[in-house]
Amino acid sequence: MTAPKDRCRLVLIVPAHDDTDHQAKTLEDALRGGDVASVIIPQYGLDDAAFQKLAETLVPIVQEAGAAALVAGDSRTASRVKADGLHVMGGADALSEAVESFSPKLIVGGGNADDRHKALEQGESNPDYMFFGKLEGDIKPEAHPKNMALGEWWASMIEIPVIIMGGSDVASVIPVAETGVEFVALRLGVFSHAGGPAQAVAEANALLDEKAPRFGG
């Protein structure tokens, strides 16, 4: 991830769309809106060739904005497009294998953990971050309470940074930040925002600047 601030920071998840030019434009707009630590690019239903083409378009946009570009699921694509990191979709074994193969050359993180035991198993490989929630888990305005509880528990006792999946409402960043985690992820809250992605990112950062607890203070 990019250099930390003294508060919870924003992670963006690119939504599925059948038009790469549209995805590129909306991502550029979002990144113009303010501070973004990283962007996760999921494969969704694309075949490997189409996904590589998408990543080739989006990764430079993310990097030029000063954020870390994380490819979800496909390590070969992550390497070929010179992404900054790999978001692992599998469980503890897949995460451990990815850390061993690609760290520290790439940022490696993941999180298919829906309970404490699975989370601790995944944490044994010492990934760069843990993700609580699903990449398409923003089905309600607020973040899922279970993910927030897991993130708060993890952040209180383990140094590996945490991303919690937020809700479809930008305002969900504040309850997530209040758990003490380092990052909050938004997808629909940014890319389906009525005022556009740039406004959404600006609003999220303004809320975090005003209300998020500060680290180390």
Evaluate if pTM is beyond 0.95. Answer: yes
Domain of residue 123, residue span: 9-211
159 Cβ contact list (under 8 Å, min separation 6): none
In a domain, 4, yes or no: no
Domain count, the chain: 1
In a domain, 82, yes or no: yes
In a domain, 3, yes or no: no
Is residue 204 a contact partner of residue 187, using CB atoms and an 8 Å limit? no
Residue type, 113: A
85 Cβ contact list (under 8 Å, min separation 6): 38, 68, 69, 70, 71, 78, 106, 107, 108, 109, 128
In a domain, 115, yes or no: yes
- CATH number of the domain to which 187 belongs: 3.20.20.70
In a domain, 2, yes or no: no
In a domain, 1, yes or no: no
In a domain, 216, yes or no: no
pLDDT of residue 74: 87
Q: Distance (Å, rounded) from C-alpha 62 to C-alpha 87?
A: 15
Written as tens digits, the pLDDT of the chain (217 aa) is 655 689 999 999 999 999 999 999 999 999 999 999 999 999 999 999 999 999 999 999 999 999 999 999 889 999 999 999 999 999 999 999 999 999 999 999 998 899 999 999 999 999 999 999 999 999 999 999 999 999 999 999 999 999 999 999 999 999 999 999 999 999 999 999 999 999 999 999 999 999 999 997 5
Is residue 216 a contact partner of residue 5, using CB atoms and an 8 Å limit? no
Residue count of the chain: 217
